[in-house]
């Protein structure tokens, strides 16, 4: 039996059982620093049996090893960890004990350094592989000791609490933070970390790299028609297909939905990326088989190069988004490389969005009107209300600001303002001709608004406008995005009494089936057919067919974009009902439109 001091703590430890310095095997110890006792063994507070119970009740491993690695002390939990008896542990040589701990050698070396040099209590995390190969993790408090009887004999007492389960949870959370659970690919967070590393590598070596953004063009339809389960299986196959043709040392990640990214830390040339993109597009165009379904896909790809296009990871993400948007604008199924002009364009769109948000408050918006003329009588039967925006004395083109308004959601307050202003201004023309109707465009975003019907009803009531004097123009693509909801919304507007017109007819689905399902009053032939009816037989034939189709369904037909007498004569012969275009008048501000109406009344 010997006594030890806790180095740096001045605690007295009595070694009751364990391996003493002379090699005698014993297994227990006690702290007697704060215990009063006599030399009389019978008066001692704890007996060996009680100490045995206490050490084995510790919820974790307790063991002591000397500077040579031998076990001087071990509880049952330690013995169980290594699948042996306590006595067997205590009989091991230092080398045998070290071998038993397997890949814990690093910690053993650290323990040795602490015993020799540090002499302080410390806490460490240990990775221990037990005899059966199972891995365990412990948070271990280690206390250096020296023996009173043998000052040069030093040891390290270890008390460890197992944290294997918490480490497993940490690994799961780390995996979730860096990997996509569906495909097993890295996710956006991992891409960001690897991109930062690639940028540092590029800066250090001078080697260029590339970031590619990939997006499926028609994945939404797959989910809607075949369901999300099939969609998930398809995404797994897409990931596998793309990965199969990637060069070594690149990273494929899924950013969410049907969007993927590829990081190429080093590239030999830009043409290498172009070739890779073309190969991926061809691969994705091959049919995918999910269950009994054959699925045809198309993929759009955008790319940026570093450091040429940007040296900051956030800027690279922004610019590769622009490149992908460029591929989408081309119709999808193609590859687009970032160009600096794209950045200029996005800065312009951001400026428009910022300025447009205050346009209504600054009274910068107004309505212009373009007349709708009866092809038979030449009389005014309506007008289309078109929003105009004047900023600092200059007109901003609707081609610029309308798409920005739709993307940012500003189209909702702007659209409501257009309806309200049209209702306010139409009184001057309705009193003269009760049959005049104002046509107002409804964007896709507006059409989906849950409060659309209530908003229209309120504005009609506040401005004392009859519903039959209002006509909403809706594009084919808007209707086809969600047929059931579209039918409900259209029927509700129809029941209210407003008229419905399909705008740009002939450029979308042009399906007889949906024309029969919706309560449509009028269809407008797209201007792309009208401009060539004098010289192109196909355009003329299509225009005539649309007129006949509309009439067969009891609908009026409008031709927009009419600019010449020849176009007008053809449309009259084709029995088109209403004409709209520069041939009669450009869109005019309210007062000027009133003057035009008065002059027109005198001429007809």
> Looking at the structure, do residues 142 and 9 belong to the same domain, yes or no?
yes
CATH code for position 536: 3.20.20.450
**What is the DSSP secondary-structure string of 331-398?**
TSSSEEE--HHHHHHHHHHHHHHHHHTTTTTTT-EEEEEEEEEETTT--EEEEEEEEEEEETTEEEPH
Residue 37 is predicted with a pLDDT of 42
Judge whether residue 213 has pLDDT over 50.
Answer: yes
Is residue 348, in this structure, part of any structural domain at all? Answer: no
Give the model's confidence band at 29: pLDDT under 50 very low, under 70 low, under 90 confident, else very high: very low
> Looking at the structure, do residues 539 and 429 belong to the same domain, yes or no?
yes
Distance between CA 448 and CA 498 in Å, rounded? 17
pTM, to two decimals: 0.54
| Cβ-Cβ contacts under 8 Å for 127 (sequence gap 6 or more) | 103, 104, 107, 135, 136, 137
> Looking at the structure, do residues 196 and 162 belong to the same domain, yes or no?
no
Residue 165 is predicted with a pLDDT of 81
Give the model's confidence band at 142: pLDDT under 50 very low, under 70 low, under 90 confident, else very high: confident
CATH code for position 311: 3.30.70.270
Is residue 511, in this structure, part of any structural domain at all? Answer: yes
Average pLDDT, the chain: 83
| Angle formed at CA 420 by CA 414 and CA 423, multiple of 5 degrees | 140
> Looking at the structure, do residues 522 and 385 belong to the same domain, yes or no?
yes
Residue 152 is predicted with a pLDDT of 58
> Looking at the structure, do residues 327 and 456 belong to the same domain, yes or no?
no
> Looking at the structure, do residues 287 and 378 belong to the same domain, yes or no?
no
* DSSP letter assigned to residue 469: G
Contact 261, 191 (CB under 8 A): yes
Residue 262's H or E segment, with its range, is strand 259-264
Among 119-133, 337-351, 405-419, name the one with the lowest average pLDDT.
Answer: 119-133
Residue 64 is predicted with a pLDDT of 87
Is residue 357, in this structure, part of any structural domain at all? Answer: no
Residue 371 backbone phi and psi in degrees, to 5: -70, 150
Is residue 347, in this structure, part of any structural domain at all? Answer: no
End residue of a domain, out of 124, 145, 168:
168
Is residue 201, in this structure, part of any structural domain at all? Answer: yes
> Looking at the structure, do residues 189 and 262 belong to the same domain, yes or no?
yes
On the CB side of 234, CA atoms within 13 Å amount to 29
Ranked by mean pLDDT, which of 6-20, 265-279, 476-490 comes out on top?
A: 265-279
- Answer with the residue of higher pLDDT: 347 or 449: 449
Judge whether residue 45 has pLDDT over 60.
Answer: no
> Looking at the structure, do residues 59 and 101 belong to the same domain, yes or no?
yes
pLDDT tens digits, 524-569? 998 888 988 998 888 899 899 899 989 988 999 999 999 999 999 9
Question: Is 126 strand, coil or helix?
Answer: strand
Is residue 362, in this structure, part of any structural domain at all? Answer: no
Is residue 22, in this structure, part of any structural domain at all? Answer: yes
Residue 110 is predicted with a pLDDT of 64
- Domain of 186 in residue numbering reads as 179-338
End residue of a domain, out of 168, 200, 225:
168
Which residue in 263, 133, 148, 292 sits closest to 198, CA to CA? 263
What mean pLDDT is predicted for residues 103-116? 59
Query: 115: which 2 tokens?
Result: 């015993």
End residue of a domain, out of 168, 194, 209:
168
| Cβ-Cβ contacts under 8 Å for 292 (sequence gap 6 or more) | none
> Looking at the structure, do residues 163 and 201 belong to the same domain, yes or no?
no
Distance between CA 383 and CA 440 in Å, rounded? 9
Distance between CA 596 and CA 598 in Å, rounded? 5
Judge whether residue 262 has pLDDT over 90.
Answer: yes
Is residue 89, in this structure, part of any structural domain at all? Answer: yes
pLDDT tens digits, 165-182? 877 766 666 656 678 889
Judge whether residue 424 has pLDDT over 80.
Answer: yes
CATH code for position 104: 3.30.450.20
Judge whether residue 600 has pLDDT over 60.
Answer: yes
Residue 568 is predicted with a pLDDT of 95
What mean pLDDT is predicted for residues 194-200? 94
> Looking at the structure, do residues 150 and 192 belong to the same domain, yes or no?
no
> Looking at the structure, do residues 164 and 204 belong to the same domain, yes or no?
no
Residue 115 is predicted with a pLDDT of 61
- Answer with the residue of higher pLDDT: 103 or 584: 584
Residue 130 is predicted with a pLDDT of 72
Judge whether residue 357 has pLDDT over 80.
Answer: yes
> Looking at the structure, do residues 324 and 393 belong to the same domain, yes or no?
no
Number of structural domains (the chain) is: 3
Judge whether residue 263 has pLDDT over 60.
Answer: yes
């Amino acid at each position: 039996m010997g006594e030890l001091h806790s180095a740096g703590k001045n605690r007295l430890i009595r070694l009751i059982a364990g391996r003493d310095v002379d090699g005698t095997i014993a297994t227990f110890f006690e702290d007697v620093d704060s215990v009063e006792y006599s030399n009389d063994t019978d008066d001692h507070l704890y007996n060996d049996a009680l100490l045995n119970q206490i050490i084995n009740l510790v919820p974790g491993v307790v063991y002591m090893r000397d500077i040579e690695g031998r076990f001087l002390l071990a509880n049952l939990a330690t013995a169980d960890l290594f699948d042996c008896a306590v006595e067997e542990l205590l009989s091991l040589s230092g080398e045998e004990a070290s071998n038993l701990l397997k890949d814990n050698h690093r910690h053993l070396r650290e323990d040795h350094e602490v015993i020799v040099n540090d002499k302080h209590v410390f806490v460490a995390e240990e990775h221990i592989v037990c005899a059966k190969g199972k891995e365990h993790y412990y948070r271990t408090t280690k206390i250096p000791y020296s023996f009173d009887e043998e000052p040069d004999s030093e040891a390290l007492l270890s008390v460890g609490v197992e944290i294997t389960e918490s480490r497993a949870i940490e690994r799961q959370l780390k995996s979730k933070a860096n990997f996509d659970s569906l495909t097993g690919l890295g996710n956006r967070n991992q891409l960001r970390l690897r991109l930062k590393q690639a940028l540092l590598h590029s800066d250090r070596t001078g080697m260029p790299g590339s970031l590619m953004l990939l997006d499926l063009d028609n994945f939404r339809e797959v989910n809607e028609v075949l369901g999300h389960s099939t969609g998930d299986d398809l995404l797994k196959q897409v990931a596998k297909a793309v990965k199969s043709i990637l060069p070594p040392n690149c990273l494929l990640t899924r950013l969410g939905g049907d969007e993927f990214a590829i990081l190429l830390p080093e590239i030999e040339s830009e043409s290498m990326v172009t070739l890779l993109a073309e190969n991926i597009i061809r691969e994705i165009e091959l049919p995918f088989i999910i269950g009994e379904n054959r699925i045809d896909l198309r993929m759009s790809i955008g790319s940026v190069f570093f450091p040429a296009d940007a040296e900051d990871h956030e800027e690279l993400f922004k610019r590769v988004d622009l490149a992908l948007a460029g591929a989408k604008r081309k119709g999808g199924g193609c590859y687009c490389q970032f160009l600096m002009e794209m950045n200029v364009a996005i800065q312009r769109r951001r400026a428009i969005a910022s300025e447009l948000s205050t346009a209504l408050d600054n009274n910068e918006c107004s309505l212009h009107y373009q007349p709708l003329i009866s092809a038979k009588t030449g009389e005014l039967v309506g007008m289309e209300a078109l929003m105009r925006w004047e900023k600092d004395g200059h007109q901003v083109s609707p081609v610029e600001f309308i798409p920005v308004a739709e993307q940012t959601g500003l189209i909702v307050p702007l659209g409501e303002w257009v309806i309200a202003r049209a209702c306010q201004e139409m009184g001057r023309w309705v009193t003269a001709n009760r049959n005049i109707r104002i046509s107002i465009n409804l964007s896709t975003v507006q059409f989906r608004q849950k409060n659309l019907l209530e908003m229209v009803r309120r504005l009609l009531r506040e401005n004392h406008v009859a519903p039959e004097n209002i006509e909403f123009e809706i594009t084919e693509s808007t209707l086809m995005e969600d047929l059931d909801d579209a039918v409900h919304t259209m029927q509700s507007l129809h029941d209210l009494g407003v008229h419905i017109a399909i705008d740009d007819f002939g450029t979308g689905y042009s399906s007889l089936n949906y024309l029969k399902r919706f309560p449509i009053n009028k269809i407008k032939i797209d201007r792309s057919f009208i401009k060539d009816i004098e010289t192109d037989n196909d355009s003329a034939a299509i225009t005539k067919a649309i007129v006949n189709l509309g009439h067969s369904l009891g609908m009026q037909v409008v031709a927009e974009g009419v600019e010449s007498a020849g176009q007008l004569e053809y449309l009259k012969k084709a029995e088109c009902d209403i004409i709209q275009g520069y041939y009669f008048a450009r869109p005019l501000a309210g007062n000027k439109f009133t003057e035009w109406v008065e002059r027109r009344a005198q001429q007809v």
